[in-house]
Amino acid sequence: MVLRAPSDLVEDQVARPQPAAGQVLVRITHSGVCGTDYKIFNGSIPVPYPLIPGHEMAGEVVDVGRVPTSPGAGVGRVPTSTEATRVGPAADFSPGDRVVIDPETYCGSCFHCRIGQTNLCPNGTLIGRDVNGGFAEYLMVPASQVFRLPDSIDDRTAPMIQVLTTCLHAQRQVDTFPGDTVVVLGLGVTGQLHVQLAKARGARVIGITRSAEKRAMAEKLGADLTIAGGDAAIQKVREATEGRGADLTIETTGVMKQLADSIHMTRFGGKVLLFGIYTVKEGPLPFYDIYFKEISLISARVAKAEDYPASIALVDRGQVRLEPLVSDVMPLGELKAAIGLLGSDSGQRMKIILDHS
Ligand SMILES: [Zn+2]
Ligand SMILES: [Zn+2]
């Protein structure tokens, strides 16, 4: 599926890529559609055209790029840095391996990569935004971006591993202790994942949303208490915490008013995790409360390679469930309709998965 210009999405044929050394060719079986795709489609996120979007994807390895054997190759030869870091892992994959793809690439040599902040690499790209992505039959990616899936995780839910990694990376930025009260504000796909992650960390979890269906889902997935969204929610959180407020509030909506509410429902000395993406440049926040309550505001951006094996293990062990979050499965050819569904607000819609078969 090729985006030729904003809102101009067509089905097209492109040549099947040949994997170069260190690259893996993956036949995409399923992909996830999210708000980023919606913004790429309508042009509010600018991209190079023509572009194949898609950054939440899983599939099967069909070909692995081999290191060319040159006369100089052999024992004692010092590998070039490219081979050492990028070619090595390709050998670990074989055709037939089921994998999930990390769409966030990084250079490995800049200041941020060298201090372990690969998610902040200024030379990085997002596959499906800056380069061609997964709404296609095949995708060639560096082996460093590919992670093997256990049999316990099915193809249909596997694209959501990428979404889970962003939630896990965010929760890694904050300490919580067993018994802490964690409020999750907004119970869409990422909110439901944060509920499960916080439960896995031993927290007592309160979920907040206006949608009764999403509150019921959060309770099924482990939330100890859910509260209807709105102005009364702040008071209800305080009542549920002996008047104190939450130890940690995770704001997942990206709406400034909800961020302000998050500050009000967090206890003195507590933390607010800004998970929602605030696209506004400025807005009103209760700054005096931030000071007076000594609130820590913590941000997080995308994920790192370390979050993939950890997320896969959490799903494999059943500590995080993805299947209940799939609300629609559609064929890849209906991508435009799927994006249209995202634009139309529906209280019950969760994750839309595309089936590429
Ligand atoms: Zn996404
Ligand atoms: Zn870098």
Write the CA distances from 110 to 23, 103, 118, 228, 237, integer angstroms: 22, 19, 9, 46, 44
Stretch 191-203: mean pLDDT: 98
pLDDT at 79: 45
CATH superfamily for 174-299 is NAD(P)-binding Rossmann-like Domain (3.40.50.720)
Residue 122: which of 140, 109, 139, 131 has the closest Cα?
109
Average pLDDT of the chain is 92
Residues in Cβ contact with 65 at an 8 Å cutoff, skipping those fewer than 6 apart:
19, 20, 21, 22, 23, 24, 25, 87, 90
* Helices within 207-334 (DSSP H only): 212-220, 232-239, 256-264, 287-292, 307-316
Task: Read off the pLDDT band of 349 (50, 70, 90).
Answer: confident
Query: Which sequence spans correspond to the domains of the chain?
Result: 2-164+304-355, 174-299
**CA angle 234–237–239, rounded 5-degree value:** 110
| Closest ligand to Cα 127 | 1
**Six token digits for residue 140:** 């060639």
pLDDT at 81: 45
Å from CA of 118 to ligand 2 middle: 6
Task: Read off the pLDDT band of 3 (50, 70, 90).
Answer: very high
Decide if 40 contacts 3 (C-beta within 8 A). Answer: yes
Å from CA of 23 to ligand 2 middle: 19
| Closest ligand to Cα 167 | 1
pLDDT tens for 65-80 read 876 555 444 444 444 4
Distance separating alpha carbons of residues 267 and 270, to the nearest angstrom: 5
| Cβ neighbours, 10 Å, residue 285 | 15
| Closest ligand to Cα 124 | 2
| Closest ligand to Cα 304 | 2
The sign of the torsion formed by the CA atoms of 36, 41, 47, 50 equals positive
Decide if 296 contacts 315 (C-beta within 8 A). Answer: no
- pTM over 0.75? The answer is yes
Å from CA of 219 to ligand 2 middle: 40
pLDDT at 74: 40
User: Given a cut of 70, is residue 347 above it in pLDDT?
Assistant: no
| Options 3.90.180.10, 3.60.150.10, 3.30.2000.20, 2.40.128.50; CATH of 2-164+304-355 | 3.90.180.10
pLDDT at 346: 66
Å from CA of 177 to ligand 1 middle: 29
Least-confidence region, from 11-15, 80-84, 130-134: 80-84
